Chain A
Amino acid sequence: MSESQVPSDLRYTKDHEWARPGGADVPIGVTAFAVEQLGDVTLVSLDVKVGDTVAAGKTFGTIESVKTLSDLFAPVAGKVVRINDALATKPELVNEDCYGKAWMIAIAPSDPKEVAALMDASTYRDHIKAAAH
């Protein structure tokens, strides 16, 4: 995995979500590794709306490719403050730009320390190396 496929400024979960700390809220998406495993993404269903609270490790939607379906897990607890509506009509954004245009939801974390406690890039790189074998 190259640097660009696991950006250093993000935090990661074992289920291959990323979270972007440092801003007013924390955008969440799925990693390049997850996208590679899924193949062509054909449907993103976000089952939360702005104002909902999510619990860490609970599903907030599903992502489907031609062959498979995966749950999306909230990396941290908090309130949903933004939702990327573009994914409803353009699921292919996930294949094109998983760390940018294909952010899924943004969370205002209940406890900002939870974000810092997620895997950093180098730990996540080791995690996917293990997952690939």
Chain B
Amino acid sequence: MTEPELRRTSLYPEHVAHGARIVAFAGWEMPIQYTGIVDEHQAVRSAAGIFDVSHMGELRLRGQYSSHVVDYLVTGDVKKLGDGQALYTCACNERGTILDDLIVYRRAQEDWLVVCNGANRTKMSAHFSHAAENHCDYEDESDKTALIALQGPKAFEVLSAIGNADLASLKSFHFRDAVLAGVHTTTARTGYTGEDGVEVFCPWADAPMVWRALLAAGAPLGLKPVGLGARDTLRLEARLSLYGNDIDETTHPLEAGLGWIVALQKGDFVGGAALRQIAQGPLPRKLVGFEMVGRGIARHGYLLRDASSREVGVCTSGSPGPTVGKNIGLGYLPAELSEVGTHFLVDCRGKNIEAVVVKTPFYKRPKAGAK
């Protein structure tokens, strides 16, 4: 078998110029870190960070029945969205397990954008394309759409410094078209770090202009480029799910703590019958957050054991949490072991290290103005 050729985003030369270490990720050559994961993580928590997430997939559905197609494929109730509003949701299969987690953007009643994970782009493109057939227009815009995330308490100061002070009036999970650094973008108040900020969609070739303008204006404010390494520690502290780790086609949203993105009563949708059935009974297992009590770092795939060393679950994400100052993780545990305060063991390569279930998110940003 030959390895498929790795792709590069239009920001690849910027990453190299900033001294990034590049790794293969979801078929792309992406920056894992620039100055260091902890340094970049702290920059996002204390000032701001800029991320290239152009590997994400952008699927566009337009036409009279586009809203019905989107609504049928996702678990959330998109009928409640107004123009310029976005929704975090997921797409399930008929068994109710998760094909991908998504953000759905309603541009207009007959114009929808669905953003999926880079690693799932081919699968989700086929899924939406198939459902759209004979119902609405479908286009996979991933190859022509770049995505830059600007995250952190100073994100809006940075935007103000390039002449986009008005974007501060965007509400959370709302978006609008905006010209940034002379580039036509769609800018959304969303993110994947637990901080305030925006995600900026723009034409593929224009991304370097936006990137450079934001960095030049933001550097004096502490803005730094941030790689996938810190993106992962930031999202874990905020308990945001990572597809392929915490959720996948073997997990359903109810046990993953994502019941809040499932509108069981909204009417028929793919996976709806299965999820309504699952919701009838108690959940056998739950995705919980935990902290290490002993000296050890839990990692994706490590087994979780009860006090008598019996295998009871698996760690889906784990790492040091640079802001919370503890080694943290997420994992599936039986319901009876999922209560906050329950002690269990993480099998760190043969060593059973004590851990305790804690409340999540591990990190919650201070409320604006609460300083």
| Chain B associates with chain A | yes
Report which A residues bind B (CB closer than 8 A): 39-40, 42-43, 45, 62, 64-67, 69, 88
A88 CB contacts on chain B under 8 angstroms: 295
Beyond the given A43-B297, A45-B295, A66-B233, please list 7 additional residue pairs across the A-B interface where CB-CB is below 8 A. Answer: A39-B36, A40-B38, A66-B37, A66-B38, A66-B322, A67-B32, A67-B37
A-B pairs with beta carbons under 8 A, tally: 39
A66 to B33 Cα, complex, angstroms: 11
What is the interface residue range for chain B against chain A?
10 to 19
A45 CB contacts on chain B under 8 angstroms: 295-296, 351
* Distance of B42 from chain A, by nearest CB (Å): 11
A43 to B349 Cα, complex, angstroms: 14
* Distance of A85 from chain B, by nearest CB (Å): 13
A98 to B310 Cα, complex, angstroms: 39
Mask, B273-304, CB within 8 Å of A = 1, is 00000000000000000000001110100000
Which residue from B229, B296, B351 sits with its C-beta under 8 Å from A66? B229
Which 5 pairs between the two chains have the least Cβ-Cβ distance? A42-B320, A40-B38, A66-B37, A64-B297, A67-B229
A108 to B24 Cα, complex, angstroms: 42
A72 to B351 Cα, complex, angstroms: 16
Is B36 a contact partner of A40 (Cβ separation < 8 A)? yes
Mask, B17-50, CB within 8 Å of A = 1, is 0000000000000001100111100000000000
A64 CB contacts on chain B under 8 angstroms: 297
B37 CB contacts on chain A under 8 angstroms: 39-40, 65-67
Is B299 a contact partner of A69 (Cβ separation < 8 A)? yes
A40 to B38 Cα, complex, angstroms: 7
* Distance of B134 from chain A, by nearest CB (Å): 46
Scan residues 205-256 of chain B and give those whose CB is less than 8 A from a CB of chain A: 229, 232-233
Q: Which residue of chain B lies nearest to A45 when distances are taken between CB atoms in the complex?
A: B295
Contacts A40-B36, A40-B38, A42-B297 given; indicate if A66 touches B349 (C-beta within 8 A).
no
* Distance of A88 from chain B, by nearest CB (Å): 7
Q: Which residue of chain B lies nearest to A43 when distances are taken between CB atoms in the complex?
A: B297
Contacts A66-B38, A69-B299 given; indicate if A39 touches B229 (C-beta within 8 A).
yes
A67 to B39 Cα, complex, angstroms: 14
A5 to B232 Cα, complex, angstroms: 30
* Most chain A beta-carbon contacts within 10 A, residue among B39, B232, B297, B349: B297
A45 to B32 Cα, complex, angstroms: 25
B232 CB contacts on chain A under 8 angstroms: 67
B233 CB contacts on chain A under 8 angstroms: 66
A49 to B38 Cα, complex, angstroms: 31
A65 to B327 Cα, complex, angstroms: 11
Interface: B319 (CB within 8 A)? yes
13 contacts between A and B (CB under 8 A): A39-B33, A42-B297, A42-B327, A43-B295, A43-B296, A43-B327, A65-B37, A66-B38, A66-B229, A66-B320, A66-B322, A67-B37, A69-B299
* Distance of B256 from chain A, by nearest CB (Å): 23
* Most chain B beta-carbon contacts within 10 A, residue among A39, A43, A66: A66
* Distance of A128 from chain B, by nearest CB (Å): 15
* Distance of B245 from chain A, by nearest CB (Å): 13
A62 CB contacts on chain B under 8 angstroms: 349
B351 CB contacts on chain A under 8 angstroms: 45
Scan residues 300-349 of chain B and give those whose CB is less than 8 A from a CB of chain A: 319-320, 322, 327, 349
A26 to B35 Cα, complex, angstroms: 33
* Distance of B211 from chain A, by nearest CB (Å): 23
A69 CB contacts on chain B under 8 angstroms: 297, 299, 349
Q: Which residue of chain A lies nearest to B37 when distances are taken between CB atoms in the complex?
A: A66
A4 to B312 Cα, complex, angstroms: 49
* Distance of A61 from chain B, by nearest CB (Å): 11
Q: Which residue of chain A lies nearest to B230 when distances are taken between CB atoms in the complex?
A: A66
A69 to B233 Cα, complex, angstroms: 16
A66 CB contacts on chain B under 8 angstroms: 37-38, 229, 233, 319-320, 322
* Distance of B150 from chain A, by nearest CB (Å): 22
A69 to B299 Cα, complex, angstroms: 9
A66 to B320 Cα, complex, angstroms: 6
A39 CB contacts on chain B under 8 angstroms: 33, 36-38, 229
Mask, B345-369, CB within 8 Å of A = 1, is 0000101000000000000000000
